Structure 1
């Protein structure tokens, strides 16, 4: 899927857009799976608006915006587990992370037409910090994404700037890091944007009449361990490619509480 020049581009810039990782039928299966998840969530009264809160937009604008977001979608529909370990995904991950790659978690993000909420600029690291910073996101596009419907934006090379102070650990100061500062990553359905969890990224609101649907996977090198007890889930550590070199550290430990 990628060559050495792509790997070097990722190392230097902290992101890489890979075209046509998934074909049309695979994308359609994920779209159908996503719709079923939304319907089941609504039927279970678990539906919610996951849009960002804060002072980066006036309150009267914030309350109009919507973001559908659910974590760990590979627990809800098999199409997303199949996508997480897809040979094309593994081929890219093994080159930019290394031979031994684990899945950390997944989530879906849906920006509805005209009212899809923005993401202020931020790093992902504050949410699930790891020792060696090998964690990256792989954003799978289920729709054509451009500036009108709120495509992802990144600041190239920003992963080299270290940990930056976030407002309430959620997003960067929007005056210092406006969304417009990021370069737009325009992508077709089936394309995947890979970016390090230190890379500054965000997206504008969806001002178009088109939905923007993404499935986001977070991956890490198998020997990169969390530094805080946050964002833990039952299936964390699923091997996507390679092997786990640490036989006694293969899954989080849980205690059942009745």
Structure 2
């Protein structure tokens, strides 16, 4: 994959899928490490959901600095070259999560636009989603298992669809969303079909924060853990600690918005 090919696809669609970026073996090992690590004891943030009366892990946050094997993966030079190339500047991690879609019970995510929502700081001030930190974000998706239609893989629309249906800047997009974001109104329809991101361990996906995306329930018999890392330009600042602090202390992020 040449930089120019990837760049032009990313500019055109707002997302680009790279097959076999890592070896499948490397990703399988990461999944094993994760299964054998006491995540909660390391101080990572773990969120649960109730499903059919059973408490299951929904997602983990704030982990890369605490898990060597993930830190090492994210330090990959080629990966970082691609990231800075797509963002147009050196990058730093803004936020991170591992979404666990438990077999037969892992819920999906309704269509939404990342970072486009209003929230209230603990001082009572109205804040503009992720725009408080930077004006451009790049998401990296690394599946730790196969992602298929049956286990609720990501579905995504080109960025042009956001501009066409919702707006071209933060305010107009957010004001077109349900109750000030980040979810789309139920009446959203599109003439184009979403791209279902079918992935194998070793594949990666980059997508821009303005892309409309979501996923369906995991109806398969296997879990579907997936790593999401969001980057911003380092010149805008290092916000990961501030982001998690703001989220913890905000007055309005305890709702489903906290998933963002």
TM-score (norm 1): 0.73
2:85 is aligned to: 95
Structure 1 residues 231, 99: CA separation in 2 closer, same or farther (over 3 Å shift)? closer
1:96-175 → structure 2 map (5 Å cutoff):
96-126=86-116, 127-129=129-131, 133-157=135-159, 158-160=161-163, 161-162=167-168, 163-164=173-174, 165-167=177-179, 169-175=181-187
Offset at 1:226?
9.1
SS at match of 1:199: coil
Offset at 1:8?
0.9
Cα deviation per residue 1:134-179 (whole Å; 9 max; x = unaligned)?
211101011111111011011112354432324463422233159x
Q: Does 1:198 align with 2:210?
A: yes
Q: For 1:155 and 1:121, how far apart are their aligned partners in 2?
A: 10
SS at match of 1:73: coil
Offset at 1:33?
3.2
> Where does structure 2 lack aligned partners over 5 or more consecutive residues?
117-128, 246-260
Structure 1 residues 33, 168: CA separation in 2 closer, same or farther (over 3 Å shift)? farther
Offset at 1:17?
0.7
Structure 1 residues 167, 22: CA separation in 2 closer, same or farther (over 3 Å shift)? farther
Aligned residues: 221
2:67 is aligned to: 77
SS at match of 1:30: helix
2:42–2:66 Cα contact (<8 Å) kept:
no
Q: For 2:101 and 2:139, how far apart are their aligned partners in 1?
A: 18
Offset at 1:94?
2.2
Q: For 1:65 and 1:198, how far apart are their aligned partners in 2?
A: 32
Q: For 1:67 and 1:170, how far apart are their aligned partners in 2?
A: 23
1:152–1:202 Cα contact (<8 Å) kept:
yes
1:21 is aligned to: 21
Cα deviation per residue 1:31-72 (whole Å; 9 max; x = unaligned)?
1232245x443899x754258xxxxxxxxx998896520112
Q: For 1:177 and 1:133, how far apart are their aligned partners in 2?
A: 27
1:221 is aligned to: 233
1:33–1:77 Cα contact (<8 Å) kept:
no
TM-score (norm 2): 0.72
Structure 1 residues 65, 13: CA separation in 2 closer, same or farther (over 3 Å shift)? farther
SS at match of 1:124: coil
Greater share of residues in strand:
2
Structure 1 vs Structure 2 CA RMSD? 3.3
Structure 1 residues 154, 62: CA separation in 2 closer, same or farther (over 3 Å shift)? farther
Greater share of residues in helix:
2
1:13–1:159 Cα contact (<8 Å) kept:
no
Q: For 2:110 and 2:53, how far apart are their aligned partners in 1?
A: 15
